[in-house]
Structure 1
Amino acid sequence: MPQQLAYLEQYKQRVSEIIGQQETERLVSQSLTLMTLGGNDFVNNYYLVPFSARSRQFALADYVPYIVSEYRKILMRLYELGLRRVLVTGTGPLGCVPAELAQHSRNGECSEELNRASGLFNPQLQAMLDSLNQEIRSHTFIGVNIRQSSIDFISDPERYGFVTAKVACCGQGPYNGIGLCTPRSNLCPNRDIYAFWDPFHPSERANRIIVQQIMTGSTDYISPMNLSTIMALDAVENV
């Protein structure tokens, strides 16, 4: 993440050499930024192996506020760099992706432990965003509830036109949840009827459902307001 922040600073410097500092600050302040936080900190860090370094250092109830506090520093740095509209997504239901089903599930049930992690993390992330917005007196940081959007089609895939939310379109092993999607993987005949493309990531069609909730959803999905409302407000302010 420090490297990504450095890239943003480099970008601003290069653009300012072309259009000037004032126009660069205006450009950056009117941009829309998407930040996705949390998933890898659990799946590829805390739970990657039994007795991982992080799990020995922190109990889960202590690890969650620790990473939320670290994210707060990152978001404040983005604010200092001039960003004023930042969509921040938490984690989906981590225990329900095909990769975790392949490792932990006997009958297709989700991993309760991983879902407990996302259940702890997402509310604390949103509370931190609310606190930040109150501190800076602006709705700069918008919380996106990816967990709820994903649970909708995972718990009732047929309602959304999917034949399964357990088996990935591309993969191998149980639930096509082992390894990566490669030319030698099993490949489904129609990716549009699978909720997951590979062992970890939603399919394009599932992502479109998530994006629709970002655009027009209620505060159950995006808070304090959806993206359509934000764009309408910004259009008035920037006239």
Structure 2
Amino acid sequence: MFYITSSIIIHKMGCSFSFSALWMVFNLVLALSAMAPRADARAFFVFGDSLVDNGNNNYLATSARADSPPYGIDYPTHRPTGRFSNGLNIPDLISEQLGTEPTRAYLDPSLRGNNLLVGANFASAGVGILNDTGIQFLNIIRIAQQLEYFQQYQTRVSRLIGSAGTQRLVNEALVLITLGGNDFVNNYYLVPFSARSRQFSLPDYVRYILSEYRKVLRRLYELGARRVLVTGTGPMGCVPGELARRSRTGECDVELQRAGALYNPQLIQMVNGLNSEIGSDVFIAANTMQMSFDFIFNPQAYGFVTSKIACCGQGPYNGIGLCTPLSNLCPNRDLYGFWDAFHPSEKANRIIAQRLFTGDDKYMTPMNLSTVLALDTKT
């Protein structure tokens, strides 16, 4: 039993402690617990383009940015963060499932100290597999630079937890990489008779960019990544931006859909080949085009009134130009499959994220993320 006297002294079994000293120790323990990463938490790293950029482009002199309203209108802070979304994007929703805070943009000055142990987001809007993709956006973090930043990140973390601890953190992490769409939309099909379309037929271009992508994935493995989620292209010919440019009837553009139909199955084959070569299921392929088709071709089944018209924008299908404070803005983002000309709404991102975790082999190869997490828990 504890007795508290007027002098604020606690006596138990003959020992005396100052109450104020105990309170200080208690608060110190709480603070240290908050600073330390959870023992069962795994780091999360993100590479790629605007679909997964958490704000790196905010720190660059580029036109590919989402740091002004109404971007972020449904984010917890209701302010723009650099995410190309009305709210949360797919990396945020994966972090939510992992039970960790969202990864911070690598260029964010607050990514330091113990925040580094959560992981990092290296993605940059506008980039592709090829270095000449997105050249119109000027200063963006191309994929080779993202990989260099990943190396730099590991050097920084090793100062905190040592090289062995860093290797373990990276090996046990989940990695997401989203590339490919811009290599079509912002390169091969950017303008009629583009340099790449004059250099390659579409089938040859698909094979070429996949051969380059294979080098990127192999480099990720060399840098320590052992669980890598590789997403395919989205529904490129069906997004409001391409409907505005290419469609008179609201039907998906045939040529861009042909590109996706060629690219995505070959991406899965390439991933399977890499896994066979390594001898382990390091790379997990996600058929994000099929995931998006579900709500594009049957929007009402998912609670949307439309998957053709963007919530924010102007012109046909609200698909012309950027989303700005002067754009048309829908009052209820949950009724729209697309937030802006090219990017899904948060609600659509949630549908995609759910498929990543629970989808069958129609969506995920060779397994979904729930299976990955269950297997990794047992080992």
Q: When the two structures are superposed, what TM-score results if normalisation uses the length of structure 1?
A: 0.98
The offset of 1:192, in angstroms, is 0.4
Residue 106 of structure 1 corresponds to: 248
* CA distance in structure 2 between the aligned counterparts of 1:57 and 1:107, rounded to whole angstroms: 31
The offset of 1:94, in angstroms, is 0.6
* CA distance in structure 2 between the aligned counterparts of 1:136 and 1:61, rounded to whole angstroms: 27
The one of the two structures with greater contact order (alpha-carbon pairs below 8 A, sep at least 6) is: 1
* CA distance in structure 1 between the aligned counterparts of 2:178 and 2:207, rounded to whole angstroms: 17
Highest Rg: 1 or 2? 2
Q: Does 1:147 align with 2:294?
A: no
* Counterpart selection for 1:167 from 309, 319, 322: 309
Residue 196 of structure 2 corresponds to: 54
Q: Does 1:206 align with 2:348?
A: yes
* CA distance in structure 2 between the aligned counterparts of 1:180 and 1:226, rounded to whole angstroms: 34
> Unaligned stretches of 5+ in structure 2?
1-142
Residue 69 of structure 1 corresponds to: 211
* Counterpart selection for 2:300 from 158, 176, 180: 158
User: In the TM superposition, what whole-angstrom CA distance separates every residue of 1:123-161 from its partner, at most 9, and x where no partner exists?
Assistant: 010000000000001111000000100001000000110
> Unaligned stretches of 5+ in structure 1?
none
* CA distance in structure 2 between the aligned counterparts of 1:92 and 1:69, rounded to whole angstroms: 20
* CA distance in structure 1 between the aligned counterparts of 2:166 and 2:304, rounded to whole angstroms: 44
The offset of 1:14, in angstroms, is 1.0
* CA distance in structure 2 between the aligned counterparts of 1:84 and 1:118, rounded to whole angstroms: 27
The offset of 1:92, in angstroms, is 1.3
Q: CA RMSD in A?
A: 0.5
Q: Does 1:115 align with 2:257?
A: yes
The offset of 1:189, in angstroms, is 1.1
Residue 29 of structure 1 corresponds to: 171
* CA distance in structure 2 between the aligned counterparts of 1:131 and 1:32, rounded to whole angstroms: 20
User: In the TM superposition, what whole-angstrom CA distance separates every residue of 1:175-204 from its partner, at most 9, and x where no partner exists?
Assistant: 000001000000001000100000000100
Letter aligned with residue 198 of structure 1: D
Q: Does 1:222 align with 2:367?
A: no
User: In the TM superposition, what whole-angstrom CA distance separates every residue of 1:24-71 from its partner, at most 9, and x where no partner exists?
Assistant: 000000111110021000000000000111101111010001000000
Q: Does 1:183 align with 2:294?
A: no
Q: Does 1:235 align with 2:377?
A: yes
Q: When the two structures are superposed, what TM-score results if normalisation uses the length of structure 2?
A: 0.62
More helix by share: 1
* CA distance in structure 1 between the aligned counterparts of 2:161 and 2:245, rounded to whole angstroms: 52
User: In the TM superposition, what whole-angstrom CA distance separates every residue of 1:80-123 from its partner, at most 9, and x where no partner exists?
Assistant: 00000000001012100000100111111110000000000000
* CA distance in structure 1 between the aligned counterparts of 2:221 and 2:191, rounded to whole angstroms: 35
The offset of 1:169, in angstroms, is 0.1
| Aligned residue-pair number | 237
Residue 135 of structure 1 corresponds to: 277
Dislocated runs of 4+, deviation >4 Å: none
* CA distance in structure 2 between the aligned counterparts of 1:213 and 1:2, rounded to whole angstroms: 29
